[in-house]
């Protein structure tokens, strides 16, 4: 977890690695830039902490961690603290009290800091107008953006743009190019190797030669395209082809979740490093990340389609859903893209048995879609892991494997499909008379909490064994 250092004598806060060397007696530490700003500190001009992405430390109360994640995902851009509190089951007053105690800033202050930092990165990296940036960052007007920039950066947007460094500006051959910061090393090829066989035909495409992931996206009813590829040691390059810039801040945050860039990999690696099985794997592959998802509903449908069939078979079946029920997007065939994936509303009332699904699997997908539509399954990570698993397994035909695998792709740090054959095989000692059972694996993994998702990633990749839903029962 990135910890920001603030110096009382200068009134400046920095990110780790800043060349400044203040007296440690004058330093305070904050987990969020918003907390440093709420305490009266301003961003360092040398290390520019606004160019990193604040994450979530899961060391505090889980309710606060989930609320922080929801704010970073944009929960307050179209809502308020009352609605956020209701989403996680507390009053707005109690929520603010918890934030003051554990975060150091209110939910609204965290949301405003997030929007302003995003706008500052757009001022550096792009040639978008200040008006476009205000809307892209979630501000209601240029005046609101001006006020926030002056309060947080002590300068107007135009003054900030005049200060940008020449190397910051990204020039793209097409679309809007942005940097996605990630802390430390990132094993992008392994992520692509995981995503490639699972890419839904027409909706997603992985070009292993160009090390690029691309997919169709929907923005306020209009179609667009997203591309991810390596940039440098600290960033992925995100390229967006969009019909308009509104909601850009939300699209960028969702793009980060394709690779779970907000997962605290450093804390997870430190926790797992002492384990005799996982320690060598973590040290050998420090950049290995947990694959995420752009669209949790789409991933859930694909996971259900993958029950008791091969990975290739599940990809084919899910591609039929996209082709037959998704919205066509013409002109993208050269990119390997043709459709938007259908929504939960669409699949909730659709019989899929004619697309090659068994009656039970078609019913399970329809039940999952209905539960998502009715908010009985919440895909925004507002529910604790146990509650989420219970909501998924409440749908007929869906068991713990599907629930934990979906939670794993959602970015739940402790999700762990203990019944997976690949994981059981990976923990079975060579020459053992029998393979480890689900109970054996669950007991073995208890010491890996709360970072079992990263443990699963290392075990799958080390054994060259993908998640094996095909060999698991449906429930």
420 assigned to active site: yes
**What backbone torsions phi and psi does residue 383 show, to the nearest 5 degrees?**
-95, 140
Sequence length of the chain is 475
Q: Of the candidates 189, 238, 231, which has an alpha carbon nearest to the alpha carbon of residue 211?
A: 189
How far, in Å, are 268, 276, 432, 455 from residue 273 at the CA level?
8, 8, 25, 10
Identify the active-site residue in 14, 47, 149, 231: 14
Q: Which helix (H) or strand (E) holds 149?
A: helix 142-153
**What backbone torsions phi and psi does residue 306 show, to the nearest 5 degrees?**
-85, -5
DSSP tally for the chain: helices H, then strands E = 21, 11
Q: Which residue has the tokens 């990110």?
A: 15
Query: HEC profile for 94-111?
Result: HHHHHHHHHCCCCHHHHH
Identify the active-site residue in 127, 420, 440, 446: 420
What is the token pair recorded at 463?
A: 């054994």
Q: Of the candidates 63, 11, 65, which has an alpha carbon nearest to the alpha carbon of residue 39?
A: 11
**What backbone torsions phi and psi does residue 228 show, to the nearest 5 degrees?**
-125, 135
Tell me the C-alpha distance between 354 and 367, whole Å: 17
- Other C-beta atoms lying within 10 Å of the C-beta of residue 29: 11
User: How large is the angle between the packed helices 92-102 and 107-125, nearest 10 degrees?
Assistant: 60
What is the token pair recorded at 18?
A: 């800043």
Sign of CA dihedral 24, 28, 31, 34: negative
Q: Of the candidates 87, 115, 109, which has an alpha carbon nearest to the alpha carbon of residue 96?
A: 109
Tell me the C-alpha distance between 257 and 450, whole Å: 19
Instruction: Please spell the DSSP secondary structure of 255-290, one letter per residue.
Output: HHHTTTTTS-HHHHHHHHTTSTTHHHHHHH-TT---
- 3-class SS at 32? coil
- Other C-beta atoms lying within 10 Å of the C-beta of residue 46: 11
**Which residues are known catalytic residues?**
14, 420
């Amino acid at each position: 977890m990135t910890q920001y250092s603030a110096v009382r004598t200068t009134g400046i806060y920095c990110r780790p690695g800043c060349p400044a060397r203040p007296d440690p007696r004058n330093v305070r530490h904050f987990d969020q830039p918003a907390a440093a700003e709420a305490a009266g500190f301003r961003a360092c001009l040398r290390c520019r902490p606004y160019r990193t992405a604040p994450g979530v430390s899961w060391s505090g109360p889980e309710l606060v961690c989930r609320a922080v994640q929801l704010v970073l995902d944009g929960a307050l851009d179209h809502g308020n603290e009352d609605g956020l509190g209701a989403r996680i089951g507390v009053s707005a007053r109690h929520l603010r009290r918890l934030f003051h105690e554990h975060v150091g800033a209110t939910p609204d202050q965290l949301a405003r800091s997030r929007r302003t930092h995003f706008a500052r990165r757009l001022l550096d990296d792009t040639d978008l107008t200040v008006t476009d940036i205000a809307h892209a960052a979630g501000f209601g007007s240029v005046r609101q953006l001006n006020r926030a920039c002056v309060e947080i950066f002590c300068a107007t947007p135009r003054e900030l743009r005049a200060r940008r460094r020449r190397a910051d500006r990204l020039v793209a051959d097409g679309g809007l190019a942005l940097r996605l910061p990630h802390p430390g090393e990132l094993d992008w090829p392994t992520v692509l190797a995981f995503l490639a066989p699972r890419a839904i035909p027409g909706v997603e495409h992985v070009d292993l030669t160009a090390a690029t992931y691309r997919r169709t996206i929907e923005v306020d009813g209009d179609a667009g395209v997203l591309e991810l590829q390596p940039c440098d040691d600290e960033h992925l390059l995100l390229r967006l082809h969009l019909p308009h810039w509104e909601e850009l801040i939300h699209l960028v945050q969702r793009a980060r979740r394709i690779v779970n860039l907000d997962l605290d990999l450093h804390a997870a690696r430190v926790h797992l490093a002492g384990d005799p099985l996982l320690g060598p794997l973590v040290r050998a592959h420090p950049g290995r990340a947990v694959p995420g998802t752009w669209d949790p509903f789409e991933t859930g449908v694909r996971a259900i389609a993958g029950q008791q069939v091969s990975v290739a078979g599940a990809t084919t079946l899910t591609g039929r859903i996209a082709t037959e029920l998704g919205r066509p997007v013409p002109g993208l065939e050269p990119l390997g893209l043709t459709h938007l994936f259908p929504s939960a509303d669409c699949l909730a009332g659709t019989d899929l048995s004619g697309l090659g699904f068994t009656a039970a699997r078609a019913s399970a997908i329809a039940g999952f879609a209905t539960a998502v539509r009715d908010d009985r399954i919440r895909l925004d990570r507002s529910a604790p892991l146990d509650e989420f698993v219970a909501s998924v397994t409440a749908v007929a035909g869906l068991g713990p494997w599907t629930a934990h695998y979906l939670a794993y792709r959602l970015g739940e740090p402790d999700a762990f499909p203990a019944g997976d054959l690949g994981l059981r095989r990976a923990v079975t000692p060579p020459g053992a008379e029998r393979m480890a059972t689900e109970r054996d694996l669950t007991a073995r993994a208890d010491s890996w909490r709360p970072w079992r998702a990263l443990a699963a990633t290392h075990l799958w990749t080390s054994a060259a064994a993908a998640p094996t839903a095909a060999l698991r029962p449906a429930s």
